[in-house]
């Protein structure tokens, strides 16, 4: 398979002179239990996981995606879910060996695996590390056991502490903890205490998410009592101050890192880099140099259907971004989440158009105080970050 060539005589609206960096997202869709707030493409595992069969499907899928790499090495890999830590060490090793055999992977590639503290085992973590995983992202959410129960989690705070110790003992020097706030019945003291306990475990990175009620979840159907806006604002103010005081720099709306420990995979998404997506429901985004288009590719969501179809054309849907307005908006939806935003140079290269195309909207956003006035950078001000959707509407 080769990437599509441009139509004869049609001048593309977008123009790319180079390709951005390339990442790979791998989706592993099973969990012990479905959490009531979660709208990820994840399914309760019933019986033994078909993990080796699924890995074979992922590798078939990858082979179909490789032409879209267009000669680039993969710089970051993210094994997300679902709960990838439910997969055996053998399955993850076979997956990473297969990826290295078929694709070009950069020698120092960041390779992250998501883990749930309720699905941790020392030998398995050691096998993940041995297989080449060099970053662990552990979904701890809270240290309050009553809150963990309200969130339908399968683990306790004691298991969280054990999971981090197990990760360190297995040799993981780069660990992220996912923590959520604005939980059912949440209060400022409790939410900040959660962060204090997370910080005490000395992770390299903390993702601190505001719990949202997502469509088609149990929480949307039966909403729990959530704290009001001023409680959430106080949690955010105190929590951000605490993280800063402990050396965690906020670099994206919900992401905080120690120096040199930003998540390179997510930064590539936010900088509108390219990524291949393999696995049930996985999404990919690739710049097509010659066609002057951006392809958005999505795999069939149901794991059973995916197992049958992976690697075949009927496993994948594709849409093309072909207009300047759409490409500019999609880039800004990502890049303005970063506290540093992005450079005008990156905008022009990756949205395939001159910055002049967004000059009018940029001037309006700057006049409202939502976008900085720097000539060579697109960056939301604190006020712009607070109302990101309204800021983005100016570019729609
Ligand atoms: C795929 S999960 C991480 C791994 C594992 N599945 C787990 O939950 O422990 C990604 C993270 O997204 C966050 N998340 C999921 N649903 C959310 C929601 N409705 N609001 C805010 N954060 C959410 C959680 O912090 C979760 O850890
Ligand atoms: S464990 Fe993670 S992916 Fe699975 S249902 Fe819960 S939040 Fe979603």
Ligand nearest to the CA of 43: 2
Asked if the model's pLDDT at residue 229 lies above 60, the reply is yes
Whether 95 contacts 288, CB under 8 Å: no
**Nearest of 96, 4, 72 to residue 274 by alpha carbon:** 72
Going from the Cα of 37 to the center of ligand 1, the distance in angstroms, rounded, reads 8
CA distance 373 to 367: 9
Going from the Cα of 390 to the center of ligand 2, the distance in angstroms, rounded, reads 30
**Segment 260-289 mean pLDDT:** 98
In the chain, alpha helices (H): 51-65, 89-102, 122-131, 145-150, 157-169, 188-200, 218-221, 229-245, 264-270, 303-309, 324-335, 344-351, 359-367, 382-386, 388-393
- pLDDT attached to residue 10: 61
Residue 335: which pLDDT band, with cuts at 50, 70 and 90? very high
Q: Identify which has the larger pLDDT, 11 or 165.
A: 165
Asked if the model's pLDDT at residue 3 lies above 60, the reply is no
Phi then psi dihedrals of residue 191, to 5 deg: -70, -40
**Segment 10-29 mean pLDDT:** 92
Distance of CA 234 to the CA centre of its chain: 26
- pLDDT attached to residue 120: 84
Residue 1: which pLDDT band, with cuts at 50, 70 and 90? very low
- pLDDT attached to residue 68: 98
CA distance 268 to 335: 10
Closest residue CA from atom 8 of ligand 2: 38
Three-state SS for 133? coil
- pLDDT attached to residue 4: 54
Query: Ligand 2: which of 80, 83, 218 to mutate, most ligand atoms within 8 Å of CB?
Result: 83
**Segment 46-70 mean pLDDT:** 97
The DSSP 8-state label assigned to residue 272 in this structure reads T
- pLDDT attached to residue 118: 86
Ligand nearest to the CA of 84: 1
**Segment 127-144 mean pLDDT:** 98
- pLDDT attached to residue 8: 57
Query: Ligand 1: which of 139, 217, 252 to mutate, most ligand atoms within 8 Å of CB?
Result: 139
pLDDT digits (tens, 9 = 90+) for 137-162: 999 999 999 999 999 999 999 999 99
Residue 322: which pLDDT band, with cuts at 50, 70 and 90? very high
pLDDT digits (tens, 9 = 90+) for 183-220: 999 999 999 999 999 999 999 999 999 999 999 999 99
Per the prediction, the chain carries an average pLDDT of: 96
pLDDT digits (tens, 9 = 90+) for 77-97: 999 999 999 999 999 999 999
């Amino acid at each position: 398979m080769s990437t599509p060539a441009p139509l004869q005589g049609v001048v593309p609206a977008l123009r790319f002179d180079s390709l951005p960096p390339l990442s790979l997202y791998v989706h592993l869709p099973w969990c012990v239990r479905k959490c009531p707030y979660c709208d990820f493409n994840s399914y309760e595992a019933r019986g033994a996981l078909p993990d080796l069969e699924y890995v074979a499907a992922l590798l078939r899928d990858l082979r179909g995606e490789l032409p879209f790499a267009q000669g680039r090495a993969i710089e970051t890999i993210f094994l997300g879910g679902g709960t990838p830590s439910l997969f055996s060490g053998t399955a993850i090793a076979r997956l990473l060996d297969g990826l290295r055999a078929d694709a070009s992977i950069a020698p120092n590639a960041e390779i992250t695996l998501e883990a749930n503290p309720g699905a941790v085992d020392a030998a398995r973590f050691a096998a993940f590390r041995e297989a080449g995983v060099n970053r662990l992202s552990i979904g701890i959410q809270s240290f309050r056991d009553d809150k963990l129960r309200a969130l339908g989690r399968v683990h306790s705070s004691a298991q969280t502490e054990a999971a981090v110790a197990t990760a360190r003992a297995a040799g993981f020097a780069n660990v992220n903890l996912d923590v959520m706030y604005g939980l059912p019945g949440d209060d400022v003291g409790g939410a900040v205490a959660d962060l204090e306990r997370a910080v005490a475990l000395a992770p390299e990175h903390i993702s601190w998410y505001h719990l949202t009620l997502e469509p088609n979840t149990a929480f949307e159907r039966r909403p729990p009592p959530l704290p009001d806006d001023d409680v959430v604002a106080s949690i955010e103010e105190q929590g951000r101050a605490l993280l800063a005081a402990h050396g965690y720099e906020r670099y994206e709306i919900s992401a905080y890192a120690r120096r040199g420990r930003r998540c390179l995979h997510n930064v590539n998404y936010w900088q509108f880099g390219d990524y291949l997506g393999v696995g049930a429901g996985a999404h990919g985004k690739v710049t097509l140099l010659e066609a002057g288009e951006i392809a958005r590719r999505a795999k069939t969501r149901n794991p059973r259907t995916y197992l049958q179809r992976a690697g075949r054309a009927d496993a994948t849907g594709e849409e093309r971004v072909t207009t300047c307005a759409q490409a500019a908006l999609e880039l800004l939806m990502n890049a303005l989440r970063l506290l540093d935003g992005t450079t005008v140079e990156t905008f022009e290269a990756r949205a395939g158009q001159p910055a002049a195309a967004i000059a009018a909207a940029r001037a309006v956003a700057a006049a409202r105080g939502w976008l900085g006035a720097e000539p060579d950078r697109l960056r939301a001000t604190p006020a712009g970050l607070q109302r990101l959707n309204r800021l983005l509407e100016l570019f729609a």
